[in-house]
Structure 1
């Protein structure tokens, strides 16, 4: 057995921990750029609460609130320009996975010049980033626990990850109380994304004993909590379970990477701006039907963690889970059409080569086209 392990995350987990944002931020800077979305943190009152906590601790708060799902390079540049203009020395990401990814990329671009995609594709060597505090309000991407920031280039639709230890948050505050206001469709989408992270990390060709521990525990916790939370039949502690499972999944893919479902989903969401978790819901059963035979022991263990028997019933269990959270959906229902297939398949092999290489089955161009056709 040989493997390496390096994941320098700093987590503060627990209900009510968001109340420590001001005190913790004061240890890192004096002028904070709060990166958030257009609506949810304002409607819930969280944005006002956080700006108040920062000011009580002597910090100046600057708000950048233009980040949308599938964040764009243009939004990253705009946020970084605002941070420079206002003299920000700290970035606070407040929101879902897209917000956290954008926050990390903004903190990075304050310290690095030029085209973000040059760093993403390795044409330039990444440098430093501003200090960051990451505060997730959804339990899906696990961005608070890894060194990834998924960004879309609007010039060509490429959706790809910036990867650098410089964008690991100095502190991630995971407060399950911040999750409870999520609308059910968002809960379903992000919850399934979290499950996919753990499943994909577990079957990845570069998985390690450490990532296996993270991934299998994440799968178990999601099985116990997601459907009860969605259906209103949850027990005490279920929000903690789902929030922790999300972070575990983020840490697992931070080391083991993702596989074909994420690799094949990124092109349609980059092209058609679909919701990531809904794209995964359309693609994952199709991909796993073609994958189980290549790694039966791995897929059997996933099935057991989800309450099944072995690899033969896994796809059916995933489909039932999707039905239970009203997430049975096709790519066609999300605006993807047959004319998109050639571009998406070619983009997959160009942008998501690592994820495709990590998968138990080595899909070629025509295989990926067939997957898209079946998922339409």
Structure 2
């Protein structure tokens, strides 16, 4: 068993001001954000305040959208190179953090193209990375993963120890502005990470402990948070749960629900967290057939796997309708069967079983 989590993580309210010197990882920063969240949460102001205090110049690149594309990454790299920035501060949800990781590698290796990121033998250096999450979802602040959207529309992740952030600042205050829909979809993304890590063939005693705590926190506090969005105590619990779940997948990776969910995010526009979480009960039941011990933690928390599905429905995870054509089912099942997620998922899967899973969550 190996446990590796080299990121230095600071957690707490107003945590940046308490450890501001550790944000300074170079002489000029590229700040990577989306258009809104970093600004409205106060995170961007806090970061800029620290940079100004230490007289560190910076450039702000704020054009990262949901599911970052190659074009977004390349533009960020070009800005970073042109302005001679030597470290990256990524502020926001998973998309800005993942984009910041990709930009950090491509800037340090300017001869590479985005496709080269998916083979980490192509590079052995990255700019330092600072992560400031503003959502409780992806856990990217503590993982060696980044997910990009390729020109063909497919989402694909790359992995490298070089993109573990050097330091991350987790402040629940930055999450108080999240609306109900964003709170839901990001939290069930974190839940997916924890559950998938628990079920994965790569699970370890340590990752299982982290996964169990994450799942219990989300089970207890997500329904409360959805009813009281500005409750700091509840936000703290979800922030911790998300980061714990990130630590889990940093060891185990993700499994089939992620691959299944990617197709309906790309082709049907369903947000990633919900698109993944709706498949969790289905996969858990398949895993139970092969290895009942793998689902014991879920059954202790929720009572039964059916109750797990009822929980997801009650909080609104399934609040959409999807229609699939037979052509889509054929395409999606083929792509899922060719994905890397399948080998780490206990159970037996073929195209027909994958098609049946899609049919269970859709109207045909």
> What secondary structure, in the 3-state scheme, does the structure 1 residue paired with 2:10 have?
strand
Within 5 A, what are the aligned runs for 1:176-255?
A: 176-232=172-228, 237-255=233-251
Q: 1:234 to 1:87 in 2, by over 3 A?
A: closer
Q: Which ranges in structure 1 are unaligned for 5 or more consecutive residues?
A: none
Q: 1:127 to 1:233 in 2, by over 3 A?
A: closer
- Scaled by the length of structure 2, the TM-score of the pair is 0.92
Match in the other structure for 2:310: 320
1:124 Cα deviation after fit: 4.8
Q: CA RMSD in A?
A: 2.1
Contact 2:176 2:231 in 1 (8 A): no
1:16 Cα deviation after fit: 1.1
Contact 2:32 2:91 in 1 (8 A): yes
1:340 to 328, 338, 341: 328
1:234 Cα deviation after fit: 8.9
Contact 2:145 2:158 in 1 (8 A): yes
Contact 2:172 2:232 in 1 (8 A): no
Q: 1:208 to 1:30 in 2, by over 3 A?
A: same
**Alpha-carbon separation, structure 2, partners of 1:29 and 1:118:** 25
1:366 to 343, 348, 352: 352
> What secondary structure, in the 3-state scheme, does the structure 2 residue paired with 1:181 have?
coil
Q: Which ranges in structure 2 are unaligned for 5 or more consecutive residues?
A: none
> What secondary structure, in the 3-state scheme, does the structure 1 residue paired with 2:122 have?
coil
Match in the other structure for 2:2: 4
Count of residues in correspondence between the two structures: 361
> What secondary structure, in the 3-state scheme, does the structure 2 residue paired with 1:332 have?
coil
1:272 Cα deviation after fit: 4.3
Q: Could you list the per-position Cα deviations for residues 67-119 of structure 1 after superposition, in whole angstroms to 9, with x for gaps in the alignment?
A: 11111122111111111111111101100011111111111111123222233
Superposed structure 1 runs of 4+ greater than 6 Å apart: 233-236
1:218 Cα deviation after fit: 1.0
Match in the other structure for 1:357: 343
1:104 to 101, 104, 107: 101
- Scaled by the length of structure 1, the TM-score of the pair is 0.89
> What secondary structure, in the 3-state scheme, does the structure 2 residue paired with 1:37 have?
coil
Match in the other structure for 2:157: 161
Contact 1:73 1:152 in 2 (8 A): yes
Kindly indicate whether residue 81 of structure 2 is the aligned counterpart of residue 80 of structure 1.
Answer: no
Match in the other structure for 2:37: 40
